[in-house]
Each structure stands twice: as C-alpha cells, then as structure tokens.
Amino acid sequence: MAQMKKTRRSLLIVLAGIATGTLVGCAGHGQYTSQFKEEAELRLADLKAATEWNQAKAQFLAGDLEKALQTVDTAIGYQPDASQGYLLRGRILIELGRLEKAMNSLEIAIEKEPTLADAHYFKGLVFERISKTEDAYGAYMEADAHDPTNGQYLLAAGEMLIEMNRLEEAWALLDGRRTDFEHNAGIRQTLGHLATMLDRPMEAVTLFQEAHLLAPDDNSLLEDLIRAQMTAGKFAEAESNLRLVFTTNELDDRRDLLHLRVRCLLELDRPVDARGILQTIVRAEDGRNDIAAWVELGNVACILDDRYQLREASQRLISLAPRRHEGHLFMAMWNRSEGKLDSALTAAQRAVVHGRDLPAPLAFRGLIEMEMGQYEASLQSLEAALHLDPNDPSIHRMVEYVTRVQNGG
C-alpha cells in the first residue's frame, strides 16, 4: 500500500513537471505565435476600419459631413494604405467646400491605387469647381480609361468639351461610344443638346425620342423632345406631347410649358384655343403680372379681332411695363378699331418712342397717318420701317400706295 502511494506521488510529480515544462516553454512568443499575433492584430484593425468606414459612409449619405470626416479619419488611422478611405475623405471635403484638401486626399487615393476610376472622376469634379475645365476634361477621360463601362465618366468628359465650345469633338466622343451604352438615356440626351447646338434639329428630335424611350418617367427628357420638335417645326407632335405632360403631371406652376403650348397652337392655326390658355394664365394669381402672357394675349386678340381682349391687354401692359412698346401699340390698334384716329396716332407715337429700332410701331403709325390723309408723314414713317425690315411685303405695298396717291395716281 505504501509502495502504491509512493508510485502515485511520483507520477503526479512527473505530470506536474511536464505541465510546468510546457508552460515554461510557452513563456515568451515563439516564431509562429508572434506571426499569429500580428495577423490577429491586422484582422482586428481591418474589422475596426470596416466598422468606421461603414459608419462614415452612412454619415456622409445622411449629410452629417463633419462627423463623417472625423469617422473616416479614424478609419484611415486603422488602415492607412486603403485607397477607398482617402477617396471618401475627398468626397466629404468636396461637399464641405474644402477643395484644396479634397484634391490632396484624392491624389493620395490615386497614388495608392492608380486605377481607381472614382478618384480620377472626383478629381475632375474639383477641377471643374475651380473652373479648370481642361484639367477636368483630362481627369474625366482618365476615369473613363480605367472604367470604360461607366457612362457617367464619358458624359462628364463630353460636357467639359461642350463647356470649352469644342462641339464637334464632343459629338465625336459621345457618338463614337453610343453603341457601348445602348441603354443610357443620358448619352442620348447630351447628344440631343449637341445636335441642337450644331443646328441639326431632326437629329435632335431622334436622339431625344430615343432618350425618352429609355427613361419614360423622366419629364426633363420629354420637355427636351418637345423643344426639339418645335425647333424642327413639328408643332403637332410637340403640342400632343405637351398635352401628355399636363395630363400625367401636376404642373400648374409651369407657365413656361403653357407658353410653349400657346406657340404650338398658334402655329397650328388654333388661336381660340391659344386664347383660352392665355386667359387661364393671366387670371391666375401668379400670372397677373406675366408680361409675356399679356403680350401674346394682345397678339391673339388682334388675330381674332377681339376688341375687348385687345383693350384689356393694352391697359394691363401699359400699367405693368409703360416703357415697353407693346401696350401702347395695342392701345393704338384698339383706338383705330373704334374709329378714334387721333388717339390712335398718339398711342402709336408712344409705341415708336418705346420701340426704337422696331419696324412694327413705325409701320402702324404710317398706316394711321395714311388713313388721316397725312401722306408725307406716312411715307416717312413707312420708309423708316422699311429700312428696318426691307423684306416685309405689307410695308412695301403701303409705300407703293402712298407714293401713288402723292403722285396723283
């Protein structure tokens, strides 16, 4: 029994020695343990950086820019070689208007990852903000070179060429890559604007139609198409699209589109419909001072021989804009229609004074003078009008008539 206890104690001592030896052997870090520790620290830094990075992005998207800047700086501290951290920092600084610091962050991002397309793109944005258009164009083209699948980079480069008035180059750049972006409405929209600038109205119509088909819910594309159709003389199509715009959208405050529709209706010889829209505009609270609407309403009243509307338009225009010629000219027309030639001549003279270098007031004054038998004065007014507009056949006919009367013909 004593022997067994002795043996058991010896075994325990040996086991204890082994355990002690093992622990002693682990004291201090060997090669593999040190490597494991370094890797663990790196993984922990990456995890912390990712957490800060995601938080910074969320703060940036929420518009909390100062906090986002602090957070992304923390992320960069954990992961100083990550290009994305400097890219986000540059974007935040752009939004804060700190463009010099933004450029510095973006350049660090590019230094760490030269092919990072977004860094080149936002560098171009900084150049654009400080009006270095040529440099912006170069940066955008660099972004496109590193990621030719992103149409945003190509569009930005094209817009810089337009800004520099290098329209043919912009056309060649965008049109040459159109097939690469078959489903990109923005490329076609910009090409449509270019076609308009290059006086290619039919091409503009086609391009805006394609863009509208690709993005049918984008009202700006439909408006571009309408304006292109009007420039190309396609007033029926433009008027139809305008009706569609007003039917499918709440656009009561878009008087500019109402004015476009009025023009279409007049071109389509529908002055009664045009008058109805103009009356709606000027009767609205925010349209009572719309000078363009009152001028157009006066013109439509002349076409329809609507004396009541003509007088209202003239009075309102003289009240709103007494130094413009239209109100006085409409008043002269109304007085003439009422047989008040003296008052008509006085109003016409005011129109001439306020409408210098315009043939219409001179021609109408000449007409009234002719009807009053003041042929010499009439001829002077008409010849002055003809000098300003030598191709107006109605003025030519009046000059010929007055000349014949003076010569006893």
DSSP 65: H
Calpha distance 385→363 (Å, rounded): 6
pLDDT of residue 8: 46
Q: Between residues 190 and 28, which one has the greater pLDDT?
A: 190
Least confident of 49-58, 327-336, 357-366: 49-58
- Tell me the per-residue pLDDT of 392-403, one tens digit each, with 9 for 90 and over: 999 999 999 999
pLDDT of residue 4: 45
Instruction: Classify residue 219 as exposed, middle or buried by CB count within 10 Å of its CB (0-12, 13-18, 19+).
Output: middle
Mean per-residue pLDDT, 68-72: 86
pLDDT of 204 strictly over 90: yes
pLDDT above 90 covers what percent of the chain?
A: 72
Instruction: Classify residue 230 as exposed, middle or buried by CB count within 10 Å of its CB (0-12, 13-18, 19+).
Output: buried
pLDDT of 366 strictly over 80: yes
Predicted confidence band at 35 (pLDDT cuts at 50, 70, 90)? low
pLDDT of residue 251: 64
Stated length of the chain: 409
pTM surpassing 0.85?
no
pLDDT of residue 22: 40
Q: 128, 137, 89, 129: which is closest to 109 by C-alpha?
A: 89
Which of the residue ranges 7-21, 55-69, 362-376 has the most confident prediction, judged by mean pLDDT?
362-376
pLDDT of residue 219: 87
pLDDT of 40 strictly over 70: no
pLDDT of residue 141: 97
pLDDT of residue 47: 58
- Tell me the per-residue pLDDT of 317-351, one tens digit each, with 9 for 90 and over: 999 999 999 999 999 999 999 999 999 999 999 99
Q: 300, 257, 251: which is closest to 279 by C-alpha?
A: 300
pLDDT of 30 strictly over 70: no
Least confident of 70-84, 192-206, 295-309: 70-84
Calpha distance 391→409 (Å, rounded): 24
For residues 78 and 49, the answer to whether their CB atoms sit within 8 Å is: yes
pLDDT of residue 5: 47
pLDDT of 359 strictly over 80: yes
pLDDT of 43 strictly over 60: no
pLDDT of residue 254: 84
User: 325-409, what's its fold?
Assistant: 1.25.40
Query: Could you state, in order of their start, the residue ranges of all structural domains in the chain?
Result: 186-212+223-245, 269-321, 325-409
pLDDT above 70 covers what percent of the chain?
A: 86
Mean per-residue pLDDT, 47-52: 64
Least confident of 146-155, 243-252, 268-277: 243-252
pLDDT of residue 46: 54
pLDDT of residue 19: 39
pLDDT of 9 strictly over 60: no
pLDDT of residue 25: 41
pLDDT of residue 376: 94
pLDDT of 15 strictly over 50: no
Q: Tokens for 215, please give them.
A: 């993005």
Predicted confidence band at 80 (pLDDT cuts at 50, 70, 90)? confident
Mean pLDDT of the chain: 88
Q: Tokens for 136, please give them.
A: 């912006």
pLDDT of residue 73: 83
pLDDT of residue 34: 54
pLDDT of residue 400: 93
